[in-house]
Amino acid sequence: MLKRARIAVLVSGGGTNLEALLNAQERGELPHGEIVLVLSSAAGAYALERAKNHGVPAAAAVRKGRPQADFEADLEEKLRAAEIDVIVLAGFLSILSPAFVARWPDRILNIHPSLIPAFCGQGYYGLKVHEEALKRGVKVTGATVHLVNEIPDGGRILLQKAVEVLPGDTPEVLQRRVMEQAEWILLPRAAELVCAQLAENGGLNHE
């Protein structure tokens, strides 16, 4: 029987990318992986409800008002208890320390709403990325899924997809198009790619 990588999705807000991952799983598009845990850095995040609606265990590891070390220790405890193999950052707005990242080599995926290296780095997240794309007048934007390393927005790029910028776009309209045409397609594909590599190469933590 095929062993599947155990996936934790880390979120901070509404969880639209989480919903795309869960829907992809239910369509059979994650044959080498299984989403077994959702963790939110905010207690009231709607993403927690999305997880519960799909029957996936969900919990908060609250970031606000806590030292970084305490927050990451809480995350680590929950991840290890669930025997997690792969972490997917899906709208996760808390910065992870280099020490935390180093404990999960080539196992943390992040999605960014631009074609890296464009519009990435400190201060570029969420709607701000699309505001800047429109301000600069680019004709093409998109999304990137990459493996996280100690360098913000660094690591190995796994997948990218271009999305056209149209006349009259607002940041909100462009954000929605990038989600629908790139983010929601790329993230499940990238998760399956990493899970397949781990499952086939004997890299699962729960073997």
Catalytic positions are 112
Question: Which whole-number Å values give the CA distances from 9 to 1, 4, 80, in the listed order?
Answer: 24, 15, 14
Question: Which whole-number Å values give the CA distances from 151 to 95, 107, 156, in the listed order?
Answer: 11, 15, 11
Q: Which residues pair with 60 in a beta bridge?
A: 40
Residue 12 identity (one-letter amino acid): S
Residue 117 identity (one-letter amino acid): P
Residue 44 identity (one-letter amino acid): G
